[in-house]
Amino acid sequence: MHITFHENTRIFHLYNDDISYIMTIMRNGHLGQLYFGKHIKDKEDFSYLLETCERPMTSYLYENDRTFSLEHIRQEYPVFGTTDYRQSAVEIRQENGSRISDFTYRSHIITEGKPLLLGLPATYTEAPKEALTLTVTLEDDVTKVRAQLLYTIFAKGGIVARSVRLSNEGPRPVRLCRAMSLCLDLPDRDYVWQQLSGCWARECHIRSRALEPGILSIGSMRGNSSHEHNPFLVLKRPDTTERRGEAIGFSLIYSGNFRIQAEVDAHDTLRVLAGIDPETFEWKLDRSETFQTPEAIMVYTDSGLNHMSQTFHKLYQKRLARGYWRDKARPILNNNWEATYFDFTQDRLIEIASRAKECGVELFVLDDGWFGARSSDRAGLGDWKANKTRLPDGIAGLADRVEDLGLKFGLWFEPEMVNKDSDFYRQHPDWILSTPDRNQSHGRYQHVLDFSRKEVVDAIYEQMSAILRDAKISYIKWDMNRSITECYSSAWPADRQGEIYHRYILGVYDLYERLTREFPKVLFESCASGGGRFDPGMLYYAPQGWISDNSDAVERLKIQYGTSMCYPVSSMGTHVSVTPNHQVFRNTPLHTRANVACFGTFGYELDLNKLTQEENEEVKEQIAFMKKYRKVLQFGTFYRLMSPFEGNETAWMAVSEDQKTALVGWYRVLNCVNGRYTRLRLEGLNPSYYYRNSQSGVCCFGDELMYAGMITSDETAGQLPPDITPYTDFESRIYVLEVTEP
């Protein structure tokens, strides 16, 4: 791991064993992009990689020089309007109305480790030798606005973390209209764009397309990162697969409005931008004030998409998630929501929890409906005190009873929302986001509290912390069930209204930070009607999230497969629910529901008392299996083997760090008859280890399982014999491979 500055050629080279990132200070003082990709040997001069030439219909910076135009030069943090006509990374409006900036090099420093970003989630280091950070300071001579570009390269992996700190050192205020976290200009467009998109109940589906001239973008203007588009992008070469080939992953550590885009110009140069969505953002930067952009992560690999994902997984597991639960296997839980919805009593909850304990569950979670006048979704949000009619002993009393059963207790909150039918709203009707003289839209009969205001965040913190201090609570499910509309705050002046979306997210982060610091052993799980705010920003505070309200096992194949492109298995909330499923009304076998859910945090979203005795015995076996192997399932190296987006079968696997245990999940959606023989090529095994297959008892060396493949054929390859349990649609198996002696 090195960051080298060659003074004679004014070239920076950041590199480790995996990657090189090379840039230069150009003749106009701007930073030019020379190379980002596989590691290359360092030398003093790479300046020839910055190609220039005379082109028709081009504007040039210098008199009598028809070669130097920013329109055709790859840059690190480009501005608009001074010969570059592409979309810019930064745009600043001055008092005279001008939006022209000219950020030129002033200085740089190289430091060990990685700085924290004030008020924002970001990756971190625990030892100085884990990373090096280059901070390049640029300044605009007219406005005296200073831009500090931060580049962190980690010792291992093809990872570069980037963000920008903008400070006003001039005498007059300016307005940031655009402040992206990352710009990467690449020399060609020969990439396939892959995004994770969908909507409620079908989040993170993989969508692919070739890049063409023009702009392709994903983003959110909803106030949350959204079900529709995850803040993640992959650019892969056309021949790249899960196993081999070049890819670059881009991930934004942010939970609010964002944009990630790729612009291909007329000469096939590719510009990638990532950061806060500029359409919904404006920030007044007064004299001596500073604005910090969110952090963006770039991961390069030439070893395929699985390797790219594994790099993200390890980084986000170990250097984004924090605290007590970061490295711990997650407790197996039973959540009452789909078991009861709002229809429960204290005794009914204890009845559900008692059966859960008998089956081996470790954590019982009380979901929505425990507070205020909450008997439906029309009332009660904001009144975070127990409903004594339903819970005569309060939350503390219920928690004690659950603990007496031998279970831990968890609780649901939706702290950012309020119903108008609540004491909290009646006391503070001006504490919601709403625009004067305009309609107040609702979602799920609720309104969004103005978390840009410290007094609002303080009031919610006081209610939540009082409950957490009073009761034995081990887990919090933090929900958000609507996006922001009428984004206006009565507490801020007119010239600050463009800041509210971002200030709202800063308020959410502040509340998370205060609660996780005061209650460090509480396991927080983020949720936003499922995957509406499942993003890296949330992982900094909550090491796991509910990835979708859709708990159907078949639908979850696509959701979990797509989510794994960026996010580790340990971050994915996965539950077994009833059939017919409450979202798609599909009937799936109990073993398949568990076989999908075990590649995640694992739990049950049902009343186990309503299962048959035979089913309860099966649940006990599932829980025992999960307890035995959850460390491998949640923290092992994860490989995608067969895509649900490409066929009838899906497969993935997790391999222990020592490569002595592997668990392979295999899933078939529709049954067949007289089908083909099938086998599955595995990944990540030690070629010399001898593995025993728990399903078949067959023993094979790792090289055979990876290159010849593991047989997955069953009786559907032919005609089903009459004397076996018939296979059905939605079949699945978990193969356990463990090292044994030859």
Q: Global pTM?
A: 0.97
Per-residue confidence (pLDDT) for residue 24, from 0 to 100 = 98
What pLDDT band is residue 1 in, cutting at 50, 70 and 90? confident
For residue range 382-419, list pLDDT tens digits in order.
999 999 999 999 999 999 999 999 999 999 999 999 99
For residue range 503-541, list pLDDT tens digits in order.
999 999 999 999 999 999 999 999 999 999 999 999 999
What pLDDT band is residue 719 in, cutting at 50, 70 and 90? confident
- The residue ranges of every structural domain in the chain are 2-319, 333-416+454-483+520-631, 649-739
User: In the 3-class helix/strand/coil scheme, how is 446-505 assigned residue by residue?
Assistant: EEEECCCCHHHHHHHHHHHHHHHHHCCCCEEEECCCCCCCCCCCCCCCHHHHHHHHHHHH
- Burial class from Cβ neighbours inside 10 Å (0-12, 13-18, 19+) for residue 585 reads exposed
Average pLDDT, the chain: 97
Question: What distance lies between CA 224 and its chain's CA centroid?
Answer: 12
Q: Give kind and range of the element (H or E) at residue 162.
A: strand 159-168
> Which CATH number does 333-416+454-483+520-631 carry?
3.20.20.70
Per-residue confidence (pLDDT) for residue 497, from 0 to 100 = 98
CATH superfamily of 649-739: Golgi alpha-mannosidase II (2.60.40.1180)
Q: What's the number of CA atoms in the CB half-sphere (13 Å) around residue 513?
A: 14
Per-residue confidence (pLDDT) for residue 73, from 0 to 100 = 94
For the cut 80, the answer to whether the pLDDT of residue 199 exceeds it is yes
- For range 24-28, the mean pLDDT: 96
For residue range 248-302, list pLDDT tens digits in order.
999 999 999 999 999 999 999 999 999 999 999 999 999 999 999 999 999 999 9
3-state secondary structure of 214: strand
Per-residue confidence (pLDDT) for residue 742, from 0 to 100 = 86
What pLDDT band is residue 660 in, cutting at 50, 70 and 90? very high
For residue range 476-496, list pLDDT tens digits in order.
999 999 999 999 999 999 999
Q: Angle, nearest 10°, between helix axes 394-404 and 454-470?
A: 40
Q: Give kind and range of the element (H or E) at residue 306.
A: helix 305-319
For the cut 80, the answer to whether the pLDDT of residue 347 exceeds it is yes
CATH class of 2-319: mainly beta
3-state secondary structure of 509: helix
Dmax over Cα atoms in the chain, in whole Å? Answer: 89
Per-residue confidence (pLDDT) for residue 588, from 0 to 100 = 97
- Measured CA to CA, the distance from residue 687 to residue 705 in angstroms comes to 8
- Burial class from Cβ neighbours inside 10 Å (0-12, 13-18, 19+) for residue 463 reads middle
Catalytic residue among 84, 479, 535, 552: 479
For the cut 90, the answer to whether the pLDDT of residue 673 exceeds it is no
Per-residue confidence (pLDDT) for residue 705, from 0 to 100 = 98
- Measured CA to CA, the distance from residue 317 to residue 713 in angstroms comes to 35
For residue range 603-642, list pLDDT tens digits in order.
999 999 999 999 999 999 999 999 999 999 999 999 999 9
For the cut 90, the answer to whether the pLDDT of residue 49 exceeds it is yes
Can you read off the two tokens belonging to residue 364? Answer: 């019982």
Catalytic residue among 277, 383, 450, 549: 549
User: In the 3-class helix/strand/coil scheme, how is 403-446 assigned residue by residue?
Assistant: HHCCCEEEEEECCCEECCECHHHHHCHHHECCCCCCCCCCECCE
Q: pLDDT above 90 covers what percent of the chain?
A: 94
Per-residue confidence (pLDDT) for residue 208, from 0 to 100 = 98
In the residue annotation, 479 being an active-site residue is answered as: yes
For the cut 90, the answer to whether the pLDDT of residue 30 exceeds it is yes
Q: Does 649-739 match 2-319 at the fold level? A: no
